[in-house]
Structure 1
Amino acid sequence: MEQTTEGNRGLQNRHIQLIAIAGTIGTGLFLGAGKTIRMTGPSIIFAYIIIGIAMFFFLRTIGEMLYQDPSQHSFLNFVTKYAGTRIGYFTQWSYWLVLVFVCISELTAIGTYVQFWLPQIPLWLIEVVMLALLFSLNTLNARFFGETEFWFAIIKVAAILGMIVTAIILMISQFSYTTTIHHATIHGTVSFANILNGFQLFPRGVWNFIGALQMVMFAFTSMEFIGMTAAETVNPRKTLPRAINQIPIRILIFYVGALLAIMAIFDWNNVPADKSPFVMVFQLIGIKWAAALVNFVVLTSAGSALNSSLFSATRNMYALAKQHDRGGLTAFTKLSRHGIPLNALYLAGALALFAPILTLIPQIKNAFDFAASCTTNLFLIVYFITVFSFWKYRKSSDFDPNGFLTPKAKITVPLVVLVFAIVFISLFFNSETLYPAIGAVVWTVLFGLFSYFKKINPENLS
């Protein structure tokens, strides 16, 4: 499945490299960390390590296939090639739907951040305005997109490194503070002892630990973009292994490092579940202007994710329309003078408007959690199919025993499936994620049957 359009040729190597680094940092960390810390305490570190290891080996399976055939611009092409055209058709459309849900979840996150400054403005109105702004940016050429993402990535990386350095300085100086959280006065001292004092592996119970894996998983979703962007460079067989093998280091620095910094600054029992801990950290130590600055940083992170998701959803719809241009999708193949498939962008933008709709539904207590659950569910389904395609590749004549092999694949890949399965099953036992989980199953069954019985020309999916 071709991911690019005629206009998507403006990305330079510096764009790709920094976007790949920042691609390991998701909104799930910035906004969801508070909830997961509250649920599991310091053991959230282990949750991020477990999911991080699983994602690393999963990306190695994608990297192994891309290394063998770097002419493919998307891992979805391997699904069609090794699992069959019908499964490929199902996966390509499911992945496009995933990207739409990413747009929705990131838009809800943006609304939450903007309300930090404008609490009197309705959330749905903020979401509509921000969507219109980023929609406008996506009507420009691909080079402008790359430049925007480049600076978004710099801000995002600098924010986490700044958080870690701040925690180290405050620990060395044994900084003490007094603040108010939810009408309660809190006294604290920044110390690594805040993490270790009274440590319990499952302070809120084993089930809360398992339940937190869903939000952690959401923080890692879309990481497959790293392999796809590396595959677009001049020498993919050189850049691809390096980009994927650096992921464990990035996880330790950005995820584990940031979480340790947060929990060293204040007792994890005091972390608000409904706010970004990155913002709360600076509020807790009394630097009010820094809290606004960090809120701006996490806002740009969510804006970056929404910008990328709109870009990707638009290009995926364009590619799907090109494959099926004899049907009713021809309108989505038309390009603007800047090489942008505007009709595909209009569709992605229209579907993203479900974010303010979710905000207005009283039965949905947390629109971000709901949209993030939908995103995670569909990503996991696509990931399961990708792993299945990897095994089919391993049994094919294309398998290169001297390539960029997945380490101990017979052991590590089943462990990846096990971790993903635990996350997916856990969604059915949480009231906030139950309906999205059921929806993912309904989609898989109904659209899976549709894909099975639909007449598909294999040449369209090549």
Structure 2
Amino acid sequence: MQQPPVTLKRGLTTRHIRFMALGSAIGTGLFYGSADAIQMAGPSVLLAYLIGGIVAYIIMRALGEMSVHNPSAGSFSRYAQDNLGPLAGYITGWTYCFEILIVAIADVTAFGIYMSVWFPAVPHWVWVLGVVLFIGAINLLNVKAFGEMEFWFSFFKVATIIAMILAGVGIIVWGFGNGGQPTGIHNLWTHGGFFSHGFLGMILSLQMVMFAYGGIEIIGITAGEASEPEKSIPKAINSVPWRILVFYVGTLLVIMSIFPWNEVGTAGSPFVLTFQKLGIPTAAGILNFVVITASLSAINSDVFGVGRMLHGMAGQGYAPKMFARVSRQGIPWITVLVMMFALLIAVYLNYIMPENIFLVIASLATFATVWVWIMILCSQMAFRRRLGPQQVKALAFPMPGGVLTSAAGVAFLLFIIGLIGYFPTTRISLYAGGIWVVLLLLGYGFTRRRPGDAASIS
């Protein structure tokens, strides 16, 4: 008797999915990267993060509506294909894979740098090889092992941020570590005002702020392996945005209350400075441990996200059929191995490649993030247009405001593209993105001409 084919296993709980999305959106960008946005906008950067968080929630709700309606689809590449056409699905899937591979290269490289703080005599390549093998092994076990590891990696990050916020409140209200003198919150308006660089400064900072939320889209890949997706996906999506806002806005509110905004980032990480103000001499070591776990969390999610996307695309006929193979544990093991191999090669190229060439490749991540978000929102709009009034009423997790909300989100993201083009330093990502889309169009033409592929694309 023929055995049924092995498929992906549903082993991710609400707890796993919630912390996956939370961990993906709260990374080293908060620990180190937020200083640049603060210098651009001053205290009004809080408004920018608030606006960015609202748009991130809109994107997540659009994903949630489609994921709960059709969890077996497995990825937003499939939603783009089903609602916008095969070409949209093809470009979105490969763009996401390339984006996450670039991000993973940066995460793996960062891991080597962080570890060298404690072990300066050990070559970087040892740490890179070690972390790729470690994360690869986790992803080859089963999806529950991956989810559990991701939960604990994210937990450490979240716990540190909560501790930092509580410590900051102690300094602001009771003067802990400041000779008993409360700092108050007057720093938010006494150094050039709340809008220190004018309202325009806050608007211009939005293009930096939005990428702090990059990674939230991974929640759209978990549906195929979520236990009870009709319950776990809505719970995770509804809880994550306000937590992200609390962590980002709360953290930056505390930091800019304690330190004048124009000093943030000029003398090291504000996280380290806050803990040192409390008289904790090992603050730098504590933060290094946290950013190491943040890197592990990011790499873990990167390998999972690309692996599942390639698996789904193989089923759509957009990637080699061998990527559709699944182990007895329900893991698309070939895609995991391919991602591990690609990471090792890519990190090596990162070291030997001229910096300006790598900058062009890395800038694709900026373009790719916005492309994927726009495709998610456009897919939801097209999905809604296909439904009748009764079908819309029957949706288990409908997007508030429906098509109008998604349209507002698309308009905002198009504005972000305009800001990306405005700055000479980020404009290169639009050029690189245009070249990337042309290459994908050529590749799509090739896949359509291959015998047998037309039948596999449904």
TM exceeding 0.5? yes
Q: 2:364 aligns with which of 360, 363, 374?
A: 374
Is contact 2:41-2:202 (8 Å) kept?
A: yes
Aligned twin of 1:152: 153
2:413 corresponds to: 420
Total equivalences in the alignment: 446
8 Å Cα contact 1:11/1:146 also seen in 2 = yes
State the 1:83 CA deviation: 0.8
Aligned to 2:456: 460
What letter corresponds to residue 347 of structure 1 in structure 2?
V
The answer on whether the counterparts of 1:96 and 1:313 sit within 8 Å (CA) in structure 2 is yes
Cα distance change of structure 1 residues 267 and 360 upon mapping to structure 2, 3 Å threshold: farther
The percent identity for this pair of structures is 34
Check conservation: 1:28, 1:215, Cα contact below 8 A.
no
Distance 1:453 1:337 in 2: 33
How far does residue 200 in structure 1 lie from its aligned partner after superposition? 3.3
Any conservation in 1 of the 2:37–2:205 contact (CA below 8 Å)? yes
**Which SS does the other structure have where 1:246 is aligned?**
helix
2:262 is equivalent to residue 261 of structure 1: no
Shift of the 273–99 alpha-carbon distance from structure 1 to 2, 3 Å rule, reads: farther
Change (3 A) 1:417 1:11: closer
Contact 1:94 1:382 in 2 (8 A): yes
Relative to 1, partners in 2 of residues 1:428 and 1:137: Cα closer, same or farther, differing over 3 Å?
A: same
Q: Which moved more, 1:106-115 or 1:333-342?
A: 333-342
User: For structure 1, which runs of at least 5 residues remain unmatched after alignment?
Assistant: 179-187
Aligned with 1:396 (options 375, 378, 386): 386
Alignment partners' CA distance in 1, 2:14 and 2:417: 36
* CA displacement, residues 256-302 of structure 1 (integer Å, 9 cap, x when unaligned): 11111222232222222695433343245542213311221122112
Match for 1:161: what amino acid? I
Name the CA distance, whole Å, in 1 between partners of 2:267 and 2:76: 35
* Number of the residue aligned with 2:141: 140
- Change beyond 3 A, Cα 1:306–1:401: same
Match of 2:100 in 1: 99
In the alignment, structure 1 residue 296 sits paired with structure 2 residue 309: no
What residue identity is the alignment partner of 1:390? Answer: Q
The offset of 1:126, in angstroms, is: 4.7
CA contact under 8 A between 1:190 and 1:265: conserved in structure 2?
A: yes
2:272 corresponds to 1:279: yes
**CA displacement 1:71-130 (0-9 Å, x = unmatched):** 432232221111112222222222222221221232243344334435676766654543
1:185 maps to what in 2?
none
Match of residue 212 from structure 2? 219
**What 5-or-longer segments of structure 2 have no aligned partner?**
none
The CA distance in 2 between the partners of 1:371 and 1:263, in whole Å, is 34
Report the alpha carbon displacement of residue 378 of structure 1 after superposing the two structures with TM.
0.4
Flag the 1:459–1:152 CA change in 2: closer, same or farther, 3 A.
farther
- Are 1:36 and 2:37 an aligned pair? yes
Q: With the length of structure 2 as denominator, give the TM-score of the two structures.
A: 0.84
If the length of structure 1 is used for normalisation, what is the TM-score?
A: 0.83
Q: Is 1:433 paired with 2:433? A: no
Instruction: Report the equivalent of 1:183.
Output: none
RMSD: 3.5
Q: Determine which of 182, 185, 196 is the counterpart of 1:203.
A: 196
Partner in structure 2 of residue 181 of structure 1: none
| Residues 256/238 of structure 1: CA separation in 2 closer, same or farther (3 Å cut) | same
What is residue 350 of structure 2 aligned with on the other side?
358
Report if the CA contact (8 A) 2:77-2:313 is conserved.
Answer: no
Give the structure with the larger helix fraction: 2
- 1:79 aligns to 2:71 (yes or no): no
Contact 2:74/2:312, CA 8 A, preserved across alignment: no
Distance (Å, rounded) in 2 between the aligned partners of 1:133 and 1:276: 28
Matches within 5 A, 1:156-195: 156-175=157-176, 190-195=183-188
Distance in 1 (alpha carbons) for counterparts of 2:422 and 2:119: 35
